[in-house]
A = this chain, B = another copy of it.
Amino acid sequence: MITIKDVAKEAGVSVATISRVLNNKPGVSDETREKVLSVIKRLNYNPNLLGRNLRRMETKMVLVLLPAISNPFYARIVKGIEDVAQKNGYGVMLCNTDSDIERERMYLELLKNKLSDGVIFMAPEIDEEELNDIGEKYAVVQCCEYKEGANVSHVSIDNYKASYKAVKHLIGLGHKHIGLISCKNNFLSTKHREAGYKKALEDSGIEFNPCYIRHGDYSFKSGFRAAHGLLNDFKEITAIFAISDIMAIGAIKACYENGLKVPDDIAIVGFDNISFAPMYNPSLTTVSQPKYDIGCTAMELLIKQIKNKGGNKENIVLEHELIIRQSTVK
């Protein structure tokens, strides 16, 4: 392996000079700099960052923990994170937690072991307390999903308002019996979206029927089953709001298999505006989150924290948008 010493010897200067050239530091004559660069090129030298990282006690790498890369919702967010990271000289390590707390803890070791300068959680599995502990020692940002109790920055939309708007859209189309496909989990977003649904009904003088709520697990199948159950049990239902696009798509599929046409016989609204939403048949009305901006903002927050050694706790709420497509409008 070629090291900085080899380059120094070959160029006839000291390692300090090589280091200066590598890091674009001043105090090197143009002549020397050029000679060094040519030797670096000739020897095909690549600095060993293990040495640099140890010395500087930083890695210029950040961790992004996501429940599943297969979830298309995260794609644009990650892009935002990556773009801001790159602009600031940071690399991004994407890590699948599978919503498994052990796997999440495993990856968090990378943080504790100094292999990463900070972490962005897409949906933390660990509880408020553990999150708080980590937040006190390391740079941490929560993105989209977050724990309320923890004193850790987050960036997200207002899920309550977004859900309210989606259900109001259905009510505006004349629907009075609106099913809800929610999830049985502890996500704050879930709680907020359910609350928004109820508030929209209430504000429109429609009585809330708890039986109209079914619970899935964000999967296509669970959306399918939930819709199937709703349609079987309550013939009067003419619209369904699902708190995720994938479950909404499962619901549409269930409608068709029950002989109901969307949107003619039943209207469906999703949440997230994943890339498949406009591709589906029919295309899906849904709530769009500013995913790219969310990612950018999260990374910016993280970098600020890294620079300020953990200060700067901030919570940022970005704007959502209701996108109306074929699944609700005849």
Contacts and interface: CB of A to CB of B under 8 A. Distances in A.
Interface of A: 46-51, 53-54, 57, 59, 61, 68-70, 72, 74-76, 78-79, 82, 86, 91-96, 106-107, 109-110, 112-115, 220, 246, 249-250, 252-253, 256, 275-276, 278-281
23 contacts: A46-B109, A46-B113, A48-B54, A48-B113, A50-B50, A50-B53, A50-B59, A50-B114, A54-B54, A61-B115, A69-B94, A70-B72, A70-B75, A82-B96, A91-B107, A93-B93, A220-B275, A220-B278, A246-B279, A250-B279, A252-B281, A276-B276, A280-B280
B79 A96 contact: yes
Q: Which of A112, A250, A278 has the most CB of B within 10 A?
A: A112
A51 B54 contact: yes
Given A48-B54, A246-B279, 11 more contacts: A51-B54, A59-B115, A69-B74, A72-B72, A78-B96, A91-B110, A92-B95, A220-B278, A253-B279, A276-B276, A280-B280
Contacts of A72: 70, 72
B50 A54 contact: yes
A309 to B, nearest CB: 12
A2 to B, nearest CB: 11
Contacts of A249: 279
Q: Which 8 A-B pairs have the closest CB atoms?
A: A70-B75, A94-B94, A49-B113, A46-B112, A50-B54, A93-B93, A220-B279, A69-B69
Contact of A94 (B50, B79, B95, B115): B95
Nearest to A98: B79
